[in-house]
Amino acid sequence: MASHAKIAELFARQLFKLSMVGGAVSPEQVAGVLEYVEKHRPANPVVVLKAYHRFVAAELAKSEAVVEHAGAVNDAMLAAIAAAMTRQYGRPVVATAKPSAALIAGLRVRVGDDVYESSVAGQLAALASAV
């Protein structure tokens, strides 16, 4: 017999599937789902909504390239990254800049689970693990 957490997770996944239109998260559908949950509260609403939030966030992250940078990044560079990632993943990807001094120099681009590392901090970490 499935546990309460597992049942909540399954329910959240069903809600997540309802939130997708044409392979992308639809804001209208999300609003509809939230309204439904408000009206018909499930057994563990917080657990369901947390799992739902995780699924939606993971899906949205696939369409966003977060560009962490330690130096200056201009709009042209962001546009080039967005275009490259759109080609790579076959879906529209938007690039957003996020300054990070911890990188020392270079870039780190995160799209969903994938991380493209081209920073001095990353190279130093690789060197440290190789020694």
Partner 1 sequence: MSTVLEQIEQQIAKLSSKGVKKNTGNIRTIADGVAKIDGLSDVMYNEMVQFPGNAIGIALNLEEDEVGCVILGDISNLKEGDEVTTTGRLLSVPVGKVLLGRTVDALGNPVDGKGPIDAKEFYPVERIAPGVVVRKSVSQALFTGIMAIDSMIPIGRGQRELIIGDRGTGKTTITIDTIINQARINRVGLASGDPKFRPVYSIYVAVGQKNSNIARTITALEAAGALEFTTIVAAPAADNPANLYLAPYSGAAMGEWFMENGMDALIVYDDLSKHAVAYRQISLILKRPSGREAYPGDVFYLHSRLLERAARLEGKGSLTALPIIETLAGDVSAYISTNVISITDGQIFLETDLFNQGIRPAISVGLSVSRVGSAAQIKATKQVGGKLKGELAQFRELAAFAQFGSDLDAKTKAQLDRGNRIVELFKQPAFSPLPIELQVAVLFAMQKGFFESIDIRKVVDAAASLKSFFTTRKDALLVEIRTKGALDAELEAKLQAACDEWKSSFAA
- Give the residues lining the site for partner 1 (CB under 8 A): 9, 13, 54-55, 58, 110, 112-118, 122-123, 126-127, 129-130
CB of residue 40 vs partner 1: minimum separation in angstroms? 23
CB of residue 129 vs partner 1: minimum separation in angstroms? 7
Residue 11 vs 55, nearer CB to partner 1: 55
Question: 13, exposed or middle or buried, with CB in 10 Å at 0-12, 13-18, 19+?
Answer: middle
Rounded Cα–Cα distance for residues 83 and 89 (Å)? 10
CB of residue 123 vs partner 1: minimum separation in angstroms? 5
Residue 41 vs 54, nearer CB to partner 1: 54
Helix, strand, coil shares of the chain, percent, nearest 5, are: 55, 20, 20
> Closest by alpha carbon to 56, among 106, 85, 13?
13
Residue 28 vs 127, nearer CB to partner 1: 127
Residue 17 vs 31, nearer CB to partner 1: 17
Q: What are phi and psi of 11, to 5 degrees?
A: -65, -45
Rounded Cα–Cα distance for residues 102 and 34 (Å)? 38
CB of residue 11 vs partner 1: minimum separation in angstroms? 13
